[in-house]
Amino acid sequence: MKKNSERYKNSQLSPEERADDLLSRMTLDEKITQMMCIWNGKYETFLDENGRFDSAKAKKSFQDGVGIGQIGRPSDTGGGTTPREMAELTNQIQKFFIENSRLGIPVIFHEECLHGLAAKEGTSFPQPIALAGTFNPGLTGELYAMAAEETRVRGGHQALTPVLDVSRDPRWGRVEETFGEDPYLVTQMGLAAVRGFQGNGSFRNRKNVMATLKHFAAHGDPESGMNCAPVNVSERVLREVFFPPFKEALQKAGAISVMASYNEIDGVPSHANKWLLRDVLRDEWGFEGFVVSDYYAIWELNHRPDTHGHFVAKDKKEAAALAVKSGVNMELPEPDCYMHLAELVKEGTVDELLIDDLVWPLIYWKFKFGIFDDPYVDPDEAERICGSEKNREMALKAARESITLLKNENGLLPINFDKIDTIAVIGPNAHRSLLGGYSGVPKNEVTVLDGIRSKISGRAEILYSEGCKITAGGSWNKDQIVLPTEEEDLVAISEAVEVAEKSDIVVIAIGGNEQTSREAWSRNHMGDRTDINLFGRQEQLVKAIAKTGKPMVVFLFNGRPLSVNFLKDNAEAIFECWYLGQETGRAVADVLVGEFNPGGKLPITIPRSVGHIPCYYNHKPSDRRGYLNDDVSPLYPFGYGLSYTNFEIKNVRLADKKIKRDQSTSLLLDITNTGSREGTEVVQMYIRDLVSSVTRPVKELKGFEKVHLKPGQIKHVKIPIVPDSLAFYDIDMNYVVEPGEFEIMAGTSSMDTDLQKVVLEVV
């Protein structure tokens, strides 16, 4: 009888059977607490002032035995836990809730894993915008698998990653978190990330975690570029630009969780949008996972004074009702609005069956993940794996592949040490931590200066000057931004010029930092900008160095595209690096001396000015007609990136010149390395429907292949063209392939001059 009464504890039964049985035994309060999380409240409920588990405090806080659904970021306790400390802490917390809740339900621990586990001694990989520049989904999947393992061995179960927002406005401070401006590229990188995190979805190897797709939906095109602002787009744009990465990641990679977005669409905030979270996500796409709120976003359906409000709910109670009816399974990060759910059920505003529907996936995935049967982790394993040399080498590999060469006048690079005796390393980003947002504290971090010194030691003299400051100290988390004084900067610029004059070549590390481009999460923590020029007095610094006549090699580090017009015209070499992670200095040095040939491509357009926004490449035919007395073209186009060698694409053709609407074919071409160095090139395929029932973009990326070639080597490239490559939402909002002619373009960037064209007839 007892065995039958505890069917949910029987590991021989299916997760579905166990979830059904457990749900049938839960009280209303037990169900509702599964929809809640504790984050900063850890100290009030079960941690002492040093971040250690306090069993007496925990027993007092949870004496009702109902437990809690999730614990947020155990890695950030006590100022940051080591891998061993976090593993021990999660074990203690887990043991408490299993043994002290009436039904013994374990908790889920979630962590931030944007570009590696954001924790002490977690490996820090390049930011997503940099990873997108690799055009290498395989590499991306590998490093997210490493991030997943580092999270899992410490006790984490769910990653609040990847970000699948299609970024359409460079003013937005969260560009760095995205895979760029193109739906197809974001989709491919998103698929790789989810597969890296979740593996085959069985979770039996204890190396994977649940992925959470962020932020659903259209968060990457906020009005005025301001974080959380309204997104005013049509359903067609939603379905063709912003939905595809989410739909593909759910249906092809099996992503388990989705985070709703802060913004509103057509007047409806996402956390109160039944059409978005129920009609599309669940009914149309068949999503069977769970939706989590963005931090405090349900509260914002009413009004959150330190940031904003939507005012579609009069108070937190009404906000809770809107969220559950719309389909938000869990409120993050603290028990807040959902504290009112029991009252809403008892008064009849919310049906308990609705609560059941929302709780079932939460407990099902606890069974499926395996933490009912195997809830603890091994601290020895955590210590061995996190920040390992193997992971460090992957961080270096990813950093190298992320670097994009924008200019290399007269073949200045790689450095010729027969001609160079003294190198000046100058700039505010030359000797500063450059990890970007949502970063932890890795075991190793190499600055640009340290990397160059280590690599070039004995071959040339290295001189250093900061040149000026972007901000005085500060970090991504720190609200206050302190600016240097003009006097300080002018003195530093003068010193930098003196250093430059003593050198044969000047390496300049400039751009932005974690304070000038970041998530604007409150009124006193801003990160969106009205200006995308170099911040502060950096351009003044560059102009002063340019006057010395010394060759300038510029490495840009930034979270958003910067309009570097002066540099384009005056620097001999320019690299876009974004944020390269903990191995920044090693990767930069390897590229500088030619030990690695850069092959990155721009995953987002770099505009000439803020007035050129929007500037994404896949615009409509009537757009970009021109400006009075200005150039409408981008400073650097999407997909652009040079190499230390040269490539030639020939014999562009189609496997079939005519196909039926339900058939597939392929683009074929030959690519040759015509230079003297081995290197990589990304062959890109763009498609345009020449005549259609609704307007279509002038070109859309629909395929790419990254090829590595030795000097003189030729490769035959084949890129599939499937019905989805040609389909769109027609005048009646049906997803179809219309008959007619399609222009198929192949080349090395989205720029017309880099593309060769053939025509496909569809009948």
Euclidean distance between CA atoms 198 and 630, whole angstroms: 48
Per-position DSSP letters for 630-686, written without gaps between them: B--S-SB-TT--B-SS-EEEEEEEES-SEE-TT--EEEEEEEEE-SSS-EEEEEEEE
- Which candidate, 690, 704, 649, 759, places its Cα nearest to that of 189? 704
Helix axis angle, 448-456 relative to 584-593, nearest 10°?
Answer: 50
- Which candidate, 307, 326, 306, 303, places its Cα nearest to that of 315? 303
> Are the CB atoms for 110 and 438 separated by under 8 Å?
no
> Are the CB atoms for 238 and 265 separated by under 8 Å?
yes
What is the C-alpha R_g of the chain? 27
Dihedral sign, Cα of residue 742, residue 744, residue 750, residue 756: negative
Q: What does the buried/exposed string (b/e) look like for 532-554 if buried means 16 or more CB atoms within 10 Å of the residue's CB?
A: bebbbbbbbbbebbbebebbbbb
Which residue type does 461 have? E
Cα angle, residue 372 at apex, residues 367 and 378 outer, rounded to 5°: 120
> Are the CB atoms for 156 and 600 separated by under 8 Å?
no
Per-position DSSP letters for 389-429, written without gaps between them: HHHHHHHHHHHHHH-EEEEEGGG--S--TTT-SEEEEESTT
76 catalytic? Reply is no
Tell me which of 54, 182, 294, 336 is the catalytic residue: 294
Three-state SS for 31? helix
For residue 4, give both structure tokens: 């039958």
Euclidean distance between CA atoms 135 and 179, whole angstroms: 10
Before 157, cis peptide (omega within 30)? no
231 strand-pairing partners: 265
Q: Is 286 exposed, middle or buried (0-12, 13-18, 19+ CB in 10 A)?
A: exposed
Q: For strand 740-747 and strand 755-762, is the pairing parallel, antiparallel, or unpaired?
A: antiparallel
Element (H, E) at 352: helix 352-369
Give Cα 392 distance to the centre of its chain: 20
| Other CB atoms within 10 A of residue 24 CB | 10
What are the phi and psi torsion angles at 373 (to 5°)?
Answer: -100, -25
Give, in order, the Cα–Cα distances in Å from 444 to each of 394, 400, 752: 13, 16, 42
Strand extents, DSSP E, 173-251: 210-216
What DSSP state is assigned to residue 733? S
Catalytic residues, by residue number, are 294
